[in-house]
A and B are shown apart, each in its own frame.
Chain A
Amino acid sequence: MSRPRDTPRLEWLLGVLGLALLIAGVSYLAYQGLARPSKPGALVVTVIDIHSVGDAHVVKFSVRNDGSENLSHLHLSARLSDGDREIEAAQAFIDYLPARSEQRGGVYLRNDPRRYTLRIDPAGYMEP
């Protein structure tokens, strides 16, 4: 029973660090579980850039989830229009988009999106 005095300092240091990590982790998770209001995915889609690849155009976008629910199988639709006339449509899927996270993706379009109006909107998702 006289062991504790022999315990290496490194052991104490790591042990206390472990306890601190556990408390921090559990508190964070408990806070998220208890205090976080459940707010469905609030999505913000931002076009990052447009590249010409062969005879197609790739629109790279990022989508950020400002809600507090995690989304899976997120389906996004891109529409290219000229006034009321729809020129082209394309789709993209994001496997998982956790709360307060961002994912990137791209859509392929045959018409140059720089010449028309481009909209990328979330269409649907599944609860994981």
Chain B
Amino acid sequence: MSSKQKSAPSSDRQYAIGVARACGGALLFSLPILMTMETWQLGLHMDRLRLALLLVLNVPVLIGLAYYLGFEDSTDLLDATVDAFVALVVAAVLATLILYLLGVLRTDTGPDEWVGTVALQTVTGSVGALLAQSQFGRPSDKNEKRRTGGSVAEYFFMAAGALFLSANIAPTEEVILIAHMMTPWHTIALLAASLFVMHAFVYALEFRGQHQRAAGTTLWGEFASFTVVGYLIAVSISAYMCWSFGRFDGMSFAAALQMSFVLAFPAAIGAAAARLVL
């Protein structure tokens, strides 16, 4: 379906519907994190520069997602960039309204808390706004885009999926607690389980969007080039998230690594699922 048949007068209205749809999506994808206590506290006390960096790094992810999925049937990079910033507005406005509605932010709340809390929620909300488009939006030319995107697109989707799931789980105290409870044997088992589940998700469980092994590649080749690389992406993004939220502060290298592997479990599944559904 092409967007070019839209007539000019109705395009604003069409677009408003697209934005409303993005609001619905952002709401669905960000409510779990909007209603998680640790994210409010992190929003106000996490390192300001790390939060600023997270916001900045989120932008290329949004542009990439908008490019491949799109609010509207965005096709070129400029449209995708505009859509990425629209997703930011949608997420910021929604987070502000919901947090105010829930009494987390009040009129007597200081500006630091307003900015910090909303900024943190905007990261997952904006990704959610764009993801929702791919799940609830009208069919577009995304399949064509996927094919031309090649393996770069596959890696990008895995990174986006890992980012979304790890951003949802990293703020919780449970990641630290689980890392403390696990022995090195647990960690090795979890690593193996992450890789197995990741591979099964994409190649074996017959989900919609299941990938077929390309002709001429072996099971191990596919495993090494996508599953293992995908897992490394998931671990790296998990580590970045933990560092952003100050989870590594004062921790030994071993403890930090342990935490990264714990968070990489959901991140890996997010990465695998993203390859299927996006």
Contacts and interface: CB of A to CB of B under 8 A. Distances in A.
Interface of A: 1, 3-4, 6-12, 14-19, 21-22, 25-26, 28-30, 32-34, 36, 70, 72, 96, 98-102, 128
Most buried by A among B41, B89, B109, B119: B89
A18 B63 CA distance: 13
Contacts of A101: 109-110, 112-113
A11 B76 CA distance: 14
A8 B12 contact: yes
Given A8-B14, A70-B44, A128-B41, A102 B108 contact: yes
Interface in B107-122: 108-113, 115-116, 118-119, 122
A94 to B, nearest CB: 13
Contact of A4 (B48, B78, B89, B113): B78
B45 A70 contact: yes
Most buried by A among B55, B72, B75, B85: B85
Given A3-B79, A15-B85, A10 B16 contact: yes
A1 B112 CA distance: 42
Given A30-B48, A33-B48, A22 B88 contact: yes
B86 A11 contact: yes
Contact of A25 (B41, B44, B115): B115
Contacts of A9: 12
B83 interface: yes
